[in-house]
Homo-oligomer: A and B are copies of this chain.
Amino acid sequence: MTDWYAGLDTTLDHVWRLLSRAPVDRRSPLRTPVMATVGADGLPNARVVVLRAAARSAGILEVYTDKRSKKVNDLEISAFATFCVWVPKADLQIRIKTIANILSGSEVLPLWQSLSEPARRVYGGVPAPGVLLAHPSEFGARPDPAALALLRCVISEIETLHLGADLHRRARFSRNDDWQGSWCAP
């Protein structure tokens, strides 16, 4: 059997195998990738997010967040979100460029209804994210469906870097190119 990293197709298959599992696997590093955005000031912002869904057919990733968070603010101005994660067991870096659609209000009501009581507590705390506090205990949960936002991130490019014992393999796959992929210098 040939190793997955030897071919372009098998590399992309492996990425999607890892991505598909991640939302339901608490130990997967892909469940908590870093998401980078560009702030209103033009500066890079980055934070860890929880990957809630990954669908190969549509080429999308989904993340939930508080609608009042800085990342939503960033994405309202510049919709580009780039994900990055290192997968130790696969010696693999995965980077994914996306364009994020921000869904909220009536669009996410079915999602809100599907969330458990503890899960809802993450959306709608008082005061809003980032507001100064004299002490962390001043913050209180106030679950509010209006504070839930679903980021539906449409993938434009996936880039992999596999650090093999023999070779470093870097590949780039883009939607424009129908995901056929190409190798490039690491």
Contacts and interface: CB of A to CB of B under 8 A. Distances in A.
A4 interface: no
Contact of A34 (B36, B135, B136, B184): B36
Given A43-B80, A44-B44, A86 B183 contact: no
When all copies of this chain in the complex are counted, the total is 2
Contacts of A134: 183
Q: Provide the main secondary structure of the chain A interface.
A: strand
Given A32-B86, A136-B169, A185 B125 contact: yes
Interface string A1-45: 000000000000000000000000000000010101110001111
Nearest to A137: B167
A139 B185 contact: yes
A84 to B, nearest CB: 4
Interface in A97-131: 97, 125-131
Given A167-B136, A168-B136, A186 B125 contact: yes
Which of A86, A137, A185 is packed against the most chain B CB atoms within 10 Å? A185
B132 A184 contact: yes
Which of A42, A44, A167 is packed against the most chain B CB atoms within 10 Å? A44
Interface of A: 32, 34, 36-38, 42-48, 78, 80-84, 86, 93, 95, 97, 125-139, 167-170, 182-186
Given A129-B186, A169-B136, A186-B125, A44 B36 contact: yes
A56 to B, nearest CB: 22
Contacts of A170: 136
Contacts of A34: 34, 36, 46, 84
